Amino acid sequence: MTDFRFGILLYSQAATWPELLAAARRVDELDYDHLWTWDHLHAIVGDPLQPIYDGYTIIAAWAALTERTKVGLLVGANTFRNPGVVTKMVTTIDHISSGRAILGLGGAWFEYEHVAHGLEFGASPGERLTWLDESAGAIRTLLDGGLVTSPPGGRYAFRDLEQQPLPIQAHLPIMIGGGGEKKTLRTVAKVADYWNVNAAPDAMARKNAILAEHCAAVGRDPATISRSSNTWIVVRDSIAEAERVWANQMARNHSDLKDEDRYRMFFGPPEYVAEKLLEHVAAGFESTIVELPAPFDFETLERLAGEVKPLVDRG
């Protein structure tokens, strides 16, 4: 038997606040493990000038208006904010939620929103991942009650920084999103409690093995890191009906996602969805985070919890 865990990510674009709140409350009532939204300043599916809300503000509101489910960003853009400020923000959300915050972090990738807002994007993905590694290490120390002074030559310039209050959680978890095998997975091994990656099952298994190598190099037990995949799921009695629901959601989001994304689109009956998720279990992943576009699909929420999870758990 497996205890496969589900998280739900609600698109922060092309949705109203009442829709985001109603869906979050249903996720909470159904006892999903975690609830996420994006950290983007412009829409990333379809037209970038569609309406989109701020991610940190959303999860702070969810923290106050839900009761059980953990809340976080998948994932916070490290380039947007000073890491000390991020530590203060997520600590505040942990108190608002009575100890349910997860800190999501990633290197950031969407150049358009950086240029439009005048935010420094970095010279390369490698430079951004170097910044992420420095940032994540400082945040971990601050969350655990330590003092941070930055070494010379780094991205940041902290001087005798410590913060109060500390989070409610004795160890507020950090989620690192991404699959870069040299830098990102090394950062995961060093500081992350959760890791999320978007890849086909064979690539997931390869990256999982590489993560184990990084863990060995830093003296970390890889079993202490929770692994989650990233999926789009629509549960209906037929594939055709599931495809129709998805097409309606993509129309709302002004998008028609390409065939190269099909490897993580599980559309159809519960048995089919469970079969595809078991491929992720075989790759070493015990959780998936399902991205839901507006209009939010309450039937899929109900059937994932009530029908798909028991099938995956039985294997």
Q: Which residues, 6+ apart, have CB-to-CB distance to 291 below 8 Å?
A: 9, 11, 230, 231, 232
Strand partners, 228: 196, 287
Is-above-0.75 flag for pTM? Answer: yes
At 79, give phi and psi (nearest 5°).
-75, -15
> In order of start, what are the domains of the chain with their CATH numbers?
5-314 (3.20.20.30)
What is the C-alpha end-to-end distance of the chain, expressed in Å?
7
Q: What pLDDT tens digit does each residue of the chain (315 aa) get?
A: 889 999 999 999 999 999 999 999 999 999 999 999 999 999 999 999 999 999 999 999 999 999 999 999 999 999 999 999 999 999 999 999 999 999 999 999 999 999 999 999 999 999 999 999 999 999 999 999 999 999 999 999 999 999 999 999 999 999 999 999 999 999 999 999 999 999 999 999 999 999 999 999 999 999 999 999 999 999 999 999 999 999 999 999 999 766 667 899 999 999 999 999 999 999 999 999 999 999 999 999 999 999 999 999 998
- The secondary structure of 186-237 as a DSSP string is HHHHHH-SEEEE---HHHHHHHHHHHHHHHHHHT--GGGSEEEEEEEEEE-S
Residues forming a β-bridge with 259: none
- Number of neighbouring beta carbons within 10 Å of residue 233: 26
- Buried (b) or exposed (e) across 109-143, using 16+ Cβ within 10 A? ebeebbeeeebebbeeeeebbbbbbbbbebbbbbb
Q: Are 37 and 73 within 8 A, CB to CB?
A: yes
